[in-house]
Amino acid sequence: MTATDLGLPGIGSGGLDSVPTTDAKQTAKDYTSDQEVRWCPGCGDYAVLAAVRQFLPTLGIKRENTVFVSGIGCSSRFPYYLNTYGMHSIHGRAPTIATGLATTRPDLSVWVVTGDGDALSIGGNHLIHALRRNVNIKILLFNNRIYGLTKGQYSPTSEVGKVTKSTPMGSLDHPFNPISLALGAEASFVGRALDSDRKSLQAVLQAAAEHRGSALVEIFQDCPIFNDGSFDLLRKPDTKDQRIIPVTHGEPIRFGPADDNGLGTYAVVQNGFGLSVVEAATVDAGDIVTHDATDHELAFALSRLSDQDLNHTITGIFRNQPRHTYDDAARAQVQAARDAEPDADLQTLLNGHDTWTII
Amino acid sequence: MTTSDTPVEARDSEVVQRDRVVIRFAGDSGDGMQLTGDRFTSETANFGNDLSTLPNFPAEIRAPAGTLPGVSSFQLHFANYDILTPGDRPDVLVAMNPAALKANIKDLPHGGVLIVNTDEFTKRNLTKVGYESNPLEDDSLEPYAVHGVAMATLTRGALEETGLSKKDAERAKNMFALGLLSWMYHRPSESTERFLREKFAKKPEIAEANVLAFKAGHAYGETTEAFAVTYEVAPARLDPGTYRQITGNAALAYGIIAAGRTTSLPVFLGSYPITPASDILHELSRHKSFGVTTFQAEDEISGVGAALGASFGGSLGVTTTSGPGIALKAETVGLAVTLELPLLVIDVQRGGPSTGLPTKTEQADLLQALHGRNGEAPLPVIAPCTPGDCFSAAVEAAAIAVRYRTPVMLLSDGALANGSEPWKIPDVSELPTVDPGFATEPNAPDGSGEFWPYLRDTETLARPWAIPGTPGLEHRVGGLEKADGHGAISYDPDNHDRMVRLRQAKIDGIEVPDLVVDDPDAGPDNAGADLLVIGWGSTYGPINAAARRVRKLGHSVATAHLRHLNPMPANLGEVLRSYRTVLCPEMNLGQLALLLRGEHLVDVKSYTKVAGLPFGAEELQDVFLDYLTGTHPDASRNGSRTGTSNQITGAQA
């Protein structure tokens, strides 16, 4: 068994290149289905739904060529509320369904809506393989760090010691860092946003849609019933500036209250193989890390800046580095085979090499 | 071939005519017995005999050399008439080492021909398998016509000039054995030479060595005096047509490709490697020129998930696996049931439970196929009965899937998958087609211009299939219960009751042909036989071979074979009630018998075996005779004959 040069065409440029466009004006209302939204009052899903309904028309693609596939969990009701094609599938398996759909239908913009339990627990295997294959699907991972639909058990992103219905003495599991996991799974696009920050959420979604390949977007959102205030540190005016680190490709990573030059008071610098946060004034400007979304190692280091404590939380695009997509390559192989054998004849195939005839 | 054919002293080899012969090649897993058997099969097919094969190999890729667990064998039955099974016991056993001899000699009838590679009968190898003395030297093999041939030595001698190492040269000894047997049975050898040159095209010296070894075996038979008799088995008088040899897995793969044509849909296979189904994935991955996409998934669940996603997008989604994979796919198949999308699910059954016997055959997934999902999740189940029949079963299963918008389960098994037979090649232009009939227009009965994804066809109860990209038909489907017609989520109790019944009624209403009974003594209005033997799947061969034997002995027996396990034929109950005794042989513990008893209140008798091997014709003959002569303990407790059927047809041979 030897590797062979695939001889496939180059990387496609944009995630929506093969999706038919429309000049007709579309609005959020066009993308709103007739179904009543049934999340709990105060659920972060509302904010994401509103952001997505507003964002989809800006893509300029035909609504009928948009498909949302979800798994199981509160967030997975998402497709019912969008007037596109949609499938509410089974627990953890949405990436598999999206893979088959995207591979056979390059003319579709395929989105997966999933949660921390759906994507990282029961569906962990499918998530990492979809990312590794780099299928042209966009995965929105709603992370509220709790199981909501089953009424309040800890999830694979819950912090250690979390007291829940199933862990009255505190949970023992060490949580996943979804960004580190996705980067470790060779994801070619990884981003993160906070549900309430519509502007940056839409910016990340826009970049994800335009990326050709798998995109994972982690969206922090609260479950007001079972895990209220989980991301308060990133929301409250007195703490958020110290903790949220927005990154932009090509720009030095500075954050916090603006200094005299309008730049953040804090900066990210290299520290051994990792990164650390310092007061910008204490270091040379040249030592401040400039974000490079094509640098896999930097993306990983950024994802490690904080874990459960939300101490320093990067938002924006960690990684955006196109490479061959599985679905483009799979279609190219089929096309190459057809080109090589344009007269492929079923009867000839059935006959094979050796036949005999009885009269 | 009978026991009286032991070769006698004769200078010129005498040619004896035979109706049928069973040969078994047995050796170490590394000896190339499957290849040897395959080649002999191809030669035999080219010659025009009817044939049936039974490969039998261990799950280990290379079990320790020379041990009993490492023995691999290939049995081939060929004849000048149409045969139904790979044969119970070999007439000729080729044993490449002591382990192969020890593992197989019990199956060789006294007087049978035994050809032994003597080179391997060393003290060490004999000890390895527990022979205290060399059976070639003591009198333990006296009942057989033994031919000791130093195959390794002779092969090495034949390849002396090639410059190959001793080890490499000896590896061609299986081709020596093939050459010898090909001579013995007058097989045409051109295709084997061609095959070897193609197979080793990149290593011409190895190709040449194998051809030389093959020729050396042939010449050995011809020139030495060891073999006084050769045998001829005339070509079989099969139905007119063009034939080829085919295995069940190859036929299934071709059937899937053909189904793409007959349904006018691109084929998408999502699959995870598993014995004995992997060859379907391998075969399909080689035929992308027919527009087939193959996806080797990260697991079984992903395989079926991707196939279902492709179906949602308007492809013919297919997944192939064996029993353990079906267990893993169950939830997704249940989703496909409620989404009401076409999906072809292929289960090549193997010994279970759990990992079980990966390389051996069994029929124990029937109840799993029918009922192995949560909730009321009915789906059609169809089972081919011979290797070649796998083709038409796949085409039919796909047609049902598309016509009724439903997942369909196809149950093959290890014996069909790896077994082969001559296959009358169908005319592609005559395959029945089915129109996928994608929805393109809104269909709401209230004229609102909405699209109702669960508004059913009144005849088939199938729902419309609107694929993404169709403007105006945007809709959402999912695993939650849907409102009848409109398709929105509904928790209404009455609606759920109605939807469960509608899904069941759709499957129950699938058109399947009536069950055909082979009852040669039947009159126009009455059953001829007292005993009806009913089976499904790969037991077709042994059941009907046994029935022939029993009829030859002057008894009357009827047989019927169920291809459609769900829904079952409409006349089934009437057929069952037309016979005094109904017997159901199965390679499980009575799963079909349970269904027949439960559905039709008929006291179906069960004969079961789960030994990883197909039934033997002789074995079933004895069981049938026990029932026919009343000596079976169950034979007297049978139900009364309650009616006759005009659906019963005469012999279908």
Domain ranges of chain A: 28-230+324-350
Q: What is the pLDDT of residue B181?
A: 96
Closest-CA distance, A158 to chain B, in angstroms, reads: 26
Tens-place pLDDT, residues B247-269: 999 999 999 999 999 999 999 99
Nearest to B92 by CA among B25, B170, B46: B25
**For residue B7, is pLDDT > 80?**
no
* Other residues' Cβ atoms within 10 Å of the Cβ of residue B9: 6
Q: What is the pLDDT of residue A12?
A: 65
Residue B382: C-alpha distances to residues B434, B545, B559 (Å): 18, 22, 19
**A239-275 b/e with 16+ CB inside 10 Å = b?**
ebebbbbbbeeeebbbbbeeeeeebbebbbbeeeeeb
Q: What is the pLDDT of residue B647?
A: 35
What domains can be seen in chain B, in order of their start residue? 3-233 (3.40.920.10), 244-430 (3.40.50.970), 437-511 (no CATH), 517-637 (3.40.50.920)
Q: What is the pLDDT of residue B649?
A: 33
Number of H helices, E strands in chain A: 10, 12
Nearest to A91 by CA among A125, A45, A67, A66: A125
Q: What is the pLDDT of residue A355?
A: 87
**Do A104 and B314 lie within an 8 Å CB cutoff?**
yes
**Chains A, B: CB pairs < 8 Å:** 207
Spell out which residues of chain A touch residue B306, defining contact as CB-CB under 8 Å. Answer: 96-97, 99-100, 103
Tens-place pLDDT, residues B57-107: 888 888 888 999 999 999 999 999 999 999 999 999 999 999 999 999 999
Alpha helices in B263-364 (DSSP H): 278-285, 300-312, 323-339
Q: What is the pLDDT of residue A161?
A: 96
**For residue A323, is pLDDT > 70?**
yes
Reported as a pLDDT band with limits 50, 70 and 90, residue B641 is: very low
Q: Does A171 touch chain B (CB under 8 A)?
A: no
**Do A349 and B254 lie within an 8 Å CB cutoff?**
yes
Among the ranges given (A297-301, B404-408, B521-525, B582-586), the one the predictor scored with the smallest mean pLDDT: B521-525
**Do B290 and A344 lie within an 8 Å CB cutoff?**
yes
**Do A350 and B258 lie within an 8 Å CB cutoff?**
yes
Interface test with chain B among A6, A37, A97, by most B beta carbons within 10 Å: A97
Closest-CA distance, B298 to chain A, in angstroms, reads: 7
Closest-CA distance, A81 to chain B, in angstroms, reads: 9
3-class secondary-structure state, position B567: coil
Tens-place pLDDT, residues B306-357: 999 999 999 999 999 999 999 999 999 999 999 999 999 999 999 999 999 9
Spell out which residues of chain B touch residue A62, defining contact as CB-CB under 8 Å. Answer: 469, 471
Nearest CA in chain B to A76: B478
DSSP B414: H
**Do B299 and A344 lie within an 8 Å CB cutoff?**
no
The residue type found at A98 is A
Strand order in the sheet with B145-149: B50-56, B71-79, B20-28, B92-95, B113-117, B145-149
Alpha helices in B159-276 (DSSP H): 166-170, 173-184, 190-199, 204-223, 248-262
Nearest CA in chain A to B259: A346
| CB of A80 closer than 8 Å to CB of B478 | yes
Spell out which residues of chain B touch residue A87, defining contact as CB-CB under 8 Å. Answer: 309, 312, 339, 476-478
**Do B240 and A86 lie within an 8 Å CB cutoff?**
no
Share of chain B above pLDDT 70, in %: 95
| CB of B358 closer than 8 Å to CB of B366 | no
Tens-place pLDDT, residues A117-138: 999 999 999 999 999 999 999 9
Closest-CA distance, B174 to chain A, in angstroms, reads: 22
| CB of B79 closer than 8 Å to CB of B86 | no
Reported as a pLDDT band with limits 50, 70 and 90, residue A294 is: very high
Structure ipTM: 0.97
Q: Does A131 touch chain B (CB under 8 A)?
A: no
Share of chain A above pLDDT 70, in %: 99
Reported as a pLDDT band with limits 50, 70 and 90, residue B638 is: very low
The residue-averaged pLDDT of A332-338 equals 96
For B312, the closest of A82, A95, A101 (CB atoms) is A101
Q: Does A341 touch chain B (CB under 8 A)?
A: yes
The residue-averaged pLDDT of B394-402 equals 98
For B478, the closest of A83, A88, A105 (CB atoms) is A88
Closest-CA distance, B93 to chain A, in angstroms, reads: 27
Residues 269-308 of A with CB under 8 A from B: none
Closest-CA distance, B612 to chain A, in angstroms, reads: 30
The mean of the pLDDT values for chain B is 93
Q: What is the pLDDT of residue A1?
A: 58
Reported as a pLDDT band with limits 50, 70 and 90, residue A9 is: low
d(CA B480, CA B76): 52
Q: What is the pLDDT of residue B525?
A: 82
| CB of A41 closer than 8 Å to CB of A83 | no
Reported as a pLDDT band with limits 50, 70 and 90, residue A179 is: very high
Q: Does A356 touch chain B (CB under 8 A)?
A: yes
The residue-averaged pLDDT of B489-515 equals 98
**For residue B587, is pLDDT > 90?**
yes
**Do A358 and B268 lie within an 8 Å CB cutoff?**
no
Q: Does A214 touch chain B (CB under 8 A)?
A: no
**For residue A79, is pLDDT > 60?**
yes
Nearest CA in chain A to B190: A354
Q: Which helix (H) or strand (E) holds B101?
A: helix B98-104
For B469, the closest of A64, A93, A344 (CB atoms) is A64
Residues 80-109 of A with CB under 8 A from B: 80, 82-91, 93, 95-105, 107-108
Per the listing, tokens 């540190």 go with A233
Q: What is the pLDDT of residue A196?
A: 93
Spell out which residues of chain A touch residue B309, defining contact as CB-CB under 8 Å. Answer: 69, 87, 96-102, 104
**For residue B635, is pLDDT > 80?**
no
- A28-230+324-350 to CATH, choices 3.20.20.450, 3.40.190.10, 3.50.50.60, 3.40.50.970: 3.40.50.970
Nearest CA in chain A to B285: A334
Reported as a pLDDT band with limits 50, 70 and 90, residue B12 is: low
d(CA A254, CA B227): 92
**Do A101 and B313 lie within an 8 Å CB cutoff?**
yes
Share of chain B above pLDDT 90, in %: 88
Among the ranges given (A83-97, B35-49, B456-470, B548-562), the one the predictor scored with the smallest mean pLDDT: B35-49
Spell out which residues of chain B touch residue A86, defining contact as CB-CB under 8 Å. Answer: 475-478
Residues 30-69 of A with CB under 8 A from B: 33-35, 62-67, 69
d(CA B474, CA B471): 7
**Do B312 and A64 lie within an 8 Å CB cutoff?**
no
Interface test with chain A among B301, B390, B476, by most A beta carbons within 10 Å: B476
3-class secondary-structure state, position B296: strand
For B302, the closest of A64, A86, A96 (CB atoms) is A96
Reported as a pLDDT band with limits 50, 70 and 90, residue A11 is: low
